[in-house]
């Protein structure tokens, strides 16, 4: 696994490529970034994830040099870069709109940055050819941007921003304009290119699936603050709070009160008439403290009978079924009125499905199936 | 093709008749053989021939052309710069005032503009001639250029300039290599507009022209006061022809490139 080999953020000796130190950015009275500190390491594929207006684009624009922090410092390879204009930074950016120069051919677009450095002609030509090959655009060098398709334009933008071999490449919603199928292909292509070139990538996206697919680490942002920075699996499996749990993927959130029962095991009293639930947590909760239990639908098992020995089991009836082809999501209403989602793989054909609307069913999950979060 | 209803046909005919009948009459009478403007005496191109030998008209035409070329070129440079600063520049104090003031000459009565320029030239002791007309025409036509260019700049994707900076351009290089080529059509049409305005102008030119330099509109206007001659009709027809050819050519060029671009885009999407 990549995460076991490549994890510079766990190495206290490792020097970060980018360091945000107590950075605050205000636009008038609006605070876009609020006292934020973050380290990003070389060769990382780092994703800034959050809803629109959370400050992720402002972070990227500060790295690109289009905005300067109001307070704090931003370091690139140990040097403070606040105040350095974009044309003097070893950072390149791939814009959301691609920003291809419409009056220049694909070839000239890619050569644009190299020519500004005053490199000799044959060197420019060699580098452009290399970039065209990397992005599989060899046949399109002479075309103008409006003469190629959306996916090809996206690759031209990538080739252009990589041509100068920057220390850091910024990608602003790079796949926002592509349709779903093309987006998935492009994500793998992007990871491939990142690995081949060894460039550090910072990607801004609001698409959590995309962030999880491509990134080595994901930073979940909200209202100018970092909520959690971790690897995709940790973000998904052990979110630190309800915001992250709710933002990433589908989740059932049950509110209740926790009581310590044994070694790291808590009893959760949650709704009248429902049996208490049990879950483990390594962080300490006080007796009677309000808490949230977050359970992913795929960790909930659906069955006609109460499974023997199940720690957590609740009874209800099927309210709705969302058929997604490979899986189905069952919405099950409990006696207390709470709706819990459970996911099951469709290993049989739909005509032989075991449950249908209004069927009484049991939902169960293990003691470690949910994540217990302090309220 | 849908056929027009009788109501639409009538309104179209009326509208166009209103616009073009006066000019049509002028064109027809320019081919009149008679010396009397209002009496038709058969077809002739005689007045066009005489026009070529009229030194006074030819001189005035030459002055007009020089003034138009110089003033529209200077106005294009100044107007583009003004538009760029007003659209792109960061907020500076008095920006709203400036952007309002740049459009003021559009609605200012020409007589007032002309008079104030005249007073200025007398005040600084500048002899009236070609130079003063060029300055005056630059003054009023640069705001037209800045209107045309700024409307293009507003719809211009700012990230194109940022991309240029990002790839190592200084702000000046970004303007020269990216912004200018892209807004070029607007700059050119601004120049054409300034050129035509300068070609047409009578009021401001008559305030700022001196005995050494007379423009064609002034010449025409002063000769009409002595009576309309068929020669003037011929001259006007020539001017109408030049303007018409220019306008039609410009619209054809821009329409053709638009159609070609649409076709290319569709082809690219299909090929995907």
> Which positions in chain A touch B157 (Cβ < 8 Å)?
97, 99
Predicted local confidence at residue A215, as pLDDT: 94
State the smallest CA–CA distance between residue B183 and chain A in angstroms: 10
pLDDT number for residue B2: 66
Q: How far is B164 from chain A (nearest CA, A)?
A: 8
Q: Which residues pair with A27 in a beta bridge?
A: A30
Dihedral pair phi/psi, residue A40, rounded to 5°: -125, 135
Candidates A139, A147, A161, A177, partner chain B, best to mutate (most B CBs within 10 A):
A147
Residues of B with Cβ-Cβ distance to A85 under 8 angstroms: 165
Reduce the DSSP state of residue A93 to 3 states and report it.
strand
Q: Which long-range contacts link B248-251 to residues 24+ away (Cβ below 8 Å)? A: B250/B189, B250/B192
Work out the average pLDDT over A46-74: 93
Strand extents, DSSP E, B18-107? none
Query: Which of A97, A144, A161 is nearest residue B159 as measured by Cβ atoms?
Result: A97
The full set of domain ranges for chain A reads 2-245, 250-374
Separation CA A302–CA B235 (nearest Å): 93
ipTM of the assembly? 0.82
Give this prediction's pTM.
Answer: 0.80
Q: How far apart are CA A347 and CA A360, in angstroms?
A: 21
Q: Is the pLDDT of residue A59 over 90?
A: yes
Exposure string of A36-59, with b = 16+ CB inside 10 Å and e = fewer, is bebbbbbebbbbbbbeeebbbbbb
**Of A162, A250, A257, A171, which Cα lies nearest the Cα of A208?**
A250
Asked whether residue A105 carries a pLDDT value surpassing 50, the answer given is: yes
Class of residue A309 by CB neighbours under 10 A (exposed 0-12, middle 13-18, buried 19+): exposed
**Fold entry, domain A250-374:** OB fold (Dihydrolipoamide Acetyltransferase, E2P) (2.40.50)
- Both tokens of B38, joined, read 């209002």
Query: For residue range B57-113, what is the model confidence (pLDDT) as tens digits?
Result: 888 888 998 999 999 999 999 999 999 988 887 777 778 888 888 888 888 898 999
Question: For residue A167, how many C-alpha atoms fall within 13 Å in the half-sphere facing its CB?
Answer: 16
Q: Judge: domain A2-245, CATH 3.40.50.300.
A: yes
User: Between A95, A146, A151, which is nearest B159 by CB?
Assistant: A95
Domains and CATH numbers, chain B: 54-227 (1.10.3720.10)
Question: Mean pLDDT, to the nearest integer, of A148-163?
Answer: 93
């Amino acid at each position: 696994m990549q995460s076991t080999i490549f994890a510079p953020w766990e190495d206290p000796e490792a020097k970060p490529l980018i360091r945000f130190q107590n950075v605050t950015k205000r636009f008038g009275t609006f605070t876009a970034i609020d006292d934020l500190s973050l380290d990003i390491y070389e060769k990382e594929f780092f994703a800034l994830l959050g809803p629109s207006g959370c400050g992720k684009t402002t972070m990227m624009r500060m790295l690109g040099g289009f905005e300067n922090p109001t307070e704090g410092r931003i370091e690139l390879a140990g040097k403070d870069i606040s105040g350095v204009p974009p044309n003097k930074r070893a950072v390149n950016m791939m814009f959301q709109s691609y920003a291809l120069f419409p009056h220049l051919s694909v070839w000239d677009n890619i050569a644009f940055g190299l020519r500004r450095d005053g490199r000799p002609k044959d060197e420019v030509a060699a580098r452009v050819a290399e970039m065209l090959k990397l992005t599989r655009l060899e046949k399109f060098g002479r075309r103008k941007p409006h003469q190629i398709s959306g996916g090809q334009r996206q690759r031209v933008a990538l080739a252009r921003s990589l041509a100068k071999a920057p220390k850091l490449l910024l990608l602003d919603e790079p796949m926002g304009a592509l349709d779903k199928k093309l987006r998935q292909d492009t994500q793998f292509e992007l990871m491939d290119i990142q690995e081949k070139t060894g460039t550090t990538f910072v990607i801004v996206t609001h698409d959590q699936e995309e962030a999880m697919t491509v990134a080595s680490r994901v930073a979940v942002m909200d209202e100018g603050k970092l909520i959690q920075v971790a690897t995709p699996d940790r973000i998904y499996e052990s979110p630190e709070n309800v915001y992250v749990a709710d933002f990433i993927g589908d989740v059932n959130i049950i509110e209740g009160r926790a009581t310590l029962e044994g070694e790291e095991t808590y009893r959760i009293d949650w709704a009248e008439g429902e049996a208490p639930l049990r879950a483990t947590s390594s962080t300490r909760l006080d007796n009677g403290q309000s808490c949230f239990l977050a359970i992913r639908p795929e960790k909930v098992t659906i069955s006609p009978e109460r499974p023997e020995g199940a720690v957590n089991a609740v009874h209800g009836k099927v309210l709705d079924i969302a058929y997604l082809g490979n899986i189905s999501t069952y919405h099950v209403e409990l006696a207390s009125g709470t709706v819990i989602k459970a996911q099951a793989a469709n290993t049989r054909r739909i005509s032989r499905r075991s449950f249908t609307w209004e069927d009484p069913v049991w939902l169960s999950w293990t003691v470690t199936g949910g994540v217990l979060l302090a309220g | 093709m849908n056929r027009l209803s009788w109501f639409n046909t009538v309104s179209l005919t009326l509208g166009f008749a209103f616009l073009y009948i006066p000019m049509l009459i002028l064109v027809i009478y320019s081919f009149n053989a008679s010396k009397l403007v209002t009496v038709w005496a058969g077809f002739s191109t005689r007045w066009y021939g005489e026009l070529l030998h009229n030194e006074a008209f030819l001189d005035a035409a030459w002055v007009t052309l020089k003034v138009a070329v110089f003033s529209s070129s200077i106005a294009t440079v100044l107007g583009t710069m003004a538009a760029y600063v007003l659209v792109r520049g960061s907020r500076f104090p008095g920006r709203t005032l400036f952007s309002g003031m740049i459009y003021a000459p559009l609605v200012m009565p020409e007589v007032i503009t002309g008079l104030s320029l005249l007073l200025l030239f007398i005040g600084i002791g500048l002899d009236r001639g070609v130079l003063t007309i060029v300055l005056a025409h630059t003054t009023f036509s640069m705001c037209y250029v800045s209107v045309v260019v700024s409307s293009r700049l507003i719809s211009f994707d700012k990230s194109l300039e940022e991309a240029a900076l990002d790839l190592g351009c200084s702000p000046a290089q970004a303007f020269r290599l990216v912004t200018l080529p892209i807004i070029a059509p607007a700059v050119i049409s601004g120049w054409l507009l300034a050129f035509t305005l300068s070609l047409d102008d009578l009021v401001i030119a008559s305030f700022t022209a001196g005995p050494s330099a007379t423009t064609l509109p002034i010449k025409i206007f002063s000769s009409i006061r002595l009576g309309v001659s068929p020669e003037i009709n011929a001259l006007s027809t020539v001017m109408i022809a030049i303007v018409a050819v220019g306008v039609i050519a410009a619209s054809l060029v821009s329409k053709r490139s638009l159609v070609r671009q649409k076709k290319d885009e569709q082809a690219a999407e299909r090929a995907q």
